[in-house]
Structure 1
Amino acid sequence: MLTYEPDETIAHRLDPRSKLAVQMGFAATALAHTSPRALLALSVVAALLLAAARVPLWRTLVAYRFALVILAIAPIVAAVTLGAPWIDVGDGLASARASYRVLLVLLVSAAYVRSTPVRHSRAAIQRTIPGKPGQLLGIGVALVFRFLPVLRADLRTIQDAMAARLGTERSAVERASTIGVLGLERAFDRADRLSLALQARCFAWNPTLPALSFGRLDYPAIAIAIVLALSAFL
């Protein structure tokens, strides 16, 4: 699971708002361009962003393994037709290019997650979007970043417990239903405990968030974000 890791990389020293701008600009131009030359250029940009945050590529691909399976199956499904010629290569290639663009966006988002603390992400969102909408969105992002790894750990615990009790010899449907039911029970239990913990800590809509300020490295990052966003219209 990808999480924030303290480091001294260029990405870690950037303001989270500039990193969000770069990420949004990259996503906009990645979804707008489908040519092989554009995908090659986007691949180079994504590689530079990953290097700026020192993101381990193999570990990132392992963390995204379930999404990768879906992205790999999509071109095959798109290429299959119900009649002659049965395989449409054009549709398959178009879907493959779309899957590759989504993969690039996921890799860039991994660079953001690894280089940005959860509280900084919340501060960036709340100070960019004013009022209650920004506070609600900031809280939601913070809870997802903290809550999702716990739920994934619970699912791994359930799978390990089933394997220790020879649960692997059951049918796939029975295993999936057992994991689903127990996973939901754990999720609701975690939600109740989270609610109680928030009440015990006098949860506030507008807590004291870390101070954010743009540095010298942020201005080139903002310029890159603007160039990426404008390139979507070319």
Structure 2
Amino acid sequence: MLTYAPGETVAHRLDARSKLACQFGFAVAAFAGPTPRRLAVLTGLAALALLAGRLSPLSVARSYRFALVILLLSPLSALLALTPPYLDPARAVGPLLAITRVVLVLTVAAVYVRTTPVRESRAVIQRYVPGRTGQALGVGVALTFRFLPVLRRDLLSVREAIQARGGGRRSVVDRARRIAVVGLARALSRSDRLSLALRARCFAWNPTPPEMAFRRRDYPVAALGVALSCWPLVAVVP
């Protein structure tokens, strides 16, 4: 699962706000219309993002493997038919273009998660979303980024323990039920400990944010995000 990893890459040195602006513009351009030429341009930009964050496409695919399998069901179901012709590749073109844009957006999002500290994401949200709403969103984002990897490791350890005790001979339903029950119990236990830890550390709704400042390298990235946001309004790439 992708989480933040400290580094000295180009993406790491960018301000979180410029990365968010570029990511937002990329998503707008991707979902405006999945034409082959537009997707080709966005694929090149996604490749540049991976290069800037020194992130392997294989690691991204491995992290999103379950989502990718579900996405691939759409073109496969369109490809197959119960009546002649049973295989028609032309029917799968539209769904394939549609899921390609989702994969590209997930790729750019993976670079952001890998190269941006959670504190900076929270600070940006609380700075630009006013009041308690921004504070709640900031806390929610911070806890989600930190809590999900822990829960995933718990579920994997439960599955490995079941396998070590001969669980492979049990039915899939029984194994899923055991993983769900134990995983839920661990999640509730971790939630209680998290609540206690937050109180012990005098949790603040409005902590001192980290220092953030736009530098020269941030302006082209932010400008790219603005240009991508305006792309649907101008038919540059039909």
TM-score of the two chains, using structure 2 as the length reference: 0.93
Structure 1 residue 37 corresponds to structure 2 residue 48? no
Identical columns (%): 54
**Which one-letter code corresponds to 1:116 in the other structure?**
T
Measured in 1, the distance between the counterparts of 2:16 and 2:172 equals: 43
Q: CA deviation at 1:82?
A: 6.5
Structure 1 residue 21 corresponds to structure 2 residue 49? no
Measured in 2, the distance between the counterparts of 1:215 and 1:138 equals: 24
Measured in 1, the distance between the counterparts of 2:78 and 2:187 equals: 35
Q: Deviations for 1:29-69, whole angstroms, at most 9, x for unmatched residues? A: 00112111111111001001111111122112111111111
- Specify the SS of the correspondent of 2:206: coil
- Specify the SS of the correspondent of 1:145: helix
- Specify the SS of the correspondent of 2:12: helix
Structure 1 residue 206 corresponds to structure 2 residue 206? yes
- Specify the SS of the correspondent of 2:162: helix
Q: Deviations for 1:143-188, whole angstroms, at most 9, x for unmatched residues? A: 0000000000000100110010010111111111111111111111
Cross-structure match for 1:215: 215
Equivalent positions of 1:129-144 (< 5 A) are: 129-144=129-144
Cross-structure match for 1:229: 229
- For structure 1, the 5+ residue unaligned runs are none
Q: CA deviation at 1:93?
A: 1.8
Measured in 1, the distance between the counterparts of 2:55 and 2:232 equals: 26
Residues 190, 78 of structure 1: CA spacing in aligned structure 2 closer, same or farther, 3 A cutoff?
Answer: farther
Q: CA deviation at 1:211?
A: 1.4
TM-score of the two chains, using structure 1 as the length reference: 0.95
- For structure 2, the 5+ residue unaligned runs are none
**Which one-letter code corresponds to 1:182 in the other structure?**
V
Cross-structure match for 1:194: 194
Q: Deviations for 1:90-127, whole angstroms, at most 9, x for unmatched residues? A: 54221111111111011100110111011011111111
Measured in 2, the distance between the counterparts of 1:139 and 1:78 equals: 41
- Specify the SS of the correspondent of 1:34: coil
Residues 33, 197 of structure 1: CA spacing in aligned structure 2 closer, same or farther, 3 A cutoff?
Answer: same
Residue correspondences, number: 234
**Which one-letter code corresponds to 1:20 in the other structure?**
L
Measured in 1, the distance between the counterparts of 2:15 and 2:142 equals: 17
Q: CA deviation at 1:83?
A: 5.8
Q: Deviations for 1:201-220, whole angstroms, at most 9, x for unmatched residues? A: 11110011101111111111
Cross-structure match for 2:7: 7
